[in-house]
Chain A
Amino acid sequence: MTSALPMLQVRRLAKRFPPRAGAESPWILADLSFHVCEREFLTMVGPSGAGKSTLLNIIAQVDGASDGEILFRGEAIGSANGRTLNPGWDCQIGYVTQDDNLLPWRTLIDNVTLPLKLQGRYDEAAKKRVVELFCATNLTGFERYYPHELSGGMRKRGSLIRTLAYDPPIILMDEPFSAVDAQTRTQLQQDLLRLWNLGRKTIVFVTHDIAEAIALGDRVLVLSKSPAKVIADHRIDISRPRDLGNVYKLEGFGDIFERVRRDIQ
């Protein structure tokens, strides 16, 4: 009964963009509710264009909601009447976007450490963590390279560890691996799970790839077509560590995959 408070609660969230050329814009999100627990890896899967990025933008407070509320550890952080946004909620909410968004004029190491420096937290412990993260993602040796000198997969890993380096309690991920080839993607997913296992952060991972959602998550939420709302909630009991090279052979995978696929249709 005394279950811990969910880390993040989203309640009856709704969003539509301002009217365009006099005509009302359609609802992107409507009556969308869910929660994430501490240290949980939550994945959300939904059709392309369902408003997944909009949802994460609102949680990260890059964009405002039209209705509903978001509670972070029980405290309301963004609501329809909150006019001023506080992106990242004082560095409590990390956000790994679809594009790597590395600064092209900064070397990889400068990109990764910039948030730490901005937050005044680039101390010895942070330096050590950054070295570990470079090592864990096979980026050691590329610290002084500029983003345009790196491959797409390396840039992705760079943007991932940029957020992990400053260690926000919860990290939102918006299809971070959608723009890379299948093999790199499996490698990146494996890297992500390993990093997650080291630190056990709370992650909300959005994707349109059902297999990816199941392979990574503790729980998969299925979003409907626009306007998006949560239409199903599947617990994934596949044991960890998971071998992502063979997700289809994981015990119970096929069964869940079928169920999620039916929900989406």
Chain B
Amino acid sequence: MTAAALSSPLRLRSKPYLVPAGRIALGIAIVALWQIGTGVMGRDFLPSPWDTLARIGSLARSGELFRDAAITFGEAAAGMLLGGAAGAILPFLLRLSPRLMRALDPLISAGFGLPKLALAPLFILWFGIGITTKVVFVASIVFFLMFYNGLAGVLSVDPRLIATFRVAGAGEWVINREIVWNTAKPFLFSGLKIALPRALSGAVVGEFIAADQGLGWYIEHARSLNDTTGVLAGAVIVTVLVMAVNAGLRRVQARSLAWRPLAADMTL
């Protein structure tokens, strides 16, 4: 690593406006490219940024935006609570029985490899076309993302810390809560970083297949009408939702992992 690379976190802190300024500049560049693309391809193939924004505005005024976004967000959140929580907790239980962990390992990797989208018709058969199907679909995706990150965290626990605190009077519950949990936390945040956007996109994809409301339904409905502006507007709304969720996660993570060296620089 060069001296310049090592000193970059310091420079980041001395000119805090540079990063947001760069982000804005990049955003403007993307919109400009988009506009150029519209000019080249025509408005029917690539609706202009302004048309897309106008559509989002009218969706917001009519309240459709908030209704559909709330539905999609709710499905993603419920799927996270169900599948994400189960995936995060399971490694802590498996730690207590290495034998069970080994026994379950091929089973879980098979489940991870199973293409969930291919099972969608079955999900619809079992759970109908309502919200439940989407929640199960999301849960079946994020479970594995949280499980494998949590497992990596639980397996990276320093056995010397555990031995030291056992000698000092810590029981199994304290070991789990104090040492295993704190070791695994950064890994769980990495898991959330991947799983939360996947939960939202999973809910959207679930709505493509069968739904009568939600952002995915709106996109699919617009597609069936050859309404490219609607498709793009829906996609932009989903993206903004993902960014908002990420921003929230970043805040929680920064507070929760404040003990780490240079937490401000490591939280991306």
Contacts and interface: CB of A to CB of B under 8 A. Distances in A.
Given A103-B161, A118-B174, A93 B167 contact: yes
Nearest to A165: B168
A99 interface: yes
B169 A104 contact: no
A7 interface: no
A128 interface: no
Nearest to A159: B164
Tell which of B158, B164, B174, B182 has the most Cβ of chain A within 10 Å: B164
A168 to B, nearest CB: 9
Contact of B168 (A99, A104, A163): A163
Interface string B116-154: 000000000000000000000000000000000000000
Contacts of B251: none
Contacts of A105: 182, 259-260
Contacts of B163: 57, 62, 87, 97
Binding site of A, secondary structure by majority: helix, strand, loop or mixed? loop
Interface in A141-166: 146, 148, 162-163, 166
B66 interface: no
Contacts of B36: none
Interface in B184-207: none
Contacts of A162: 168
A115 B178 CA distance: 12
Given A97-B160, A103-B161, A103-B178, A88 B259 contact: no
A90 B168 CA distance: 8
A115 B158 CA distance: 18
24 contacts: A62-B163, A62-B166, A62-B167, A88-B168, A88-B169, A95-B167, A97-B163, A99-B160, A101-B158, A101-B160, A103-B182, A104-B259, A106-B259, A114-B168, A118-B165, A118-B168, A118-B169, A118-B170, A118-B174, A119-B168, A119-B169, A162-B168, A166-B168, A166-B169
A157 to B, nearest CB: 16
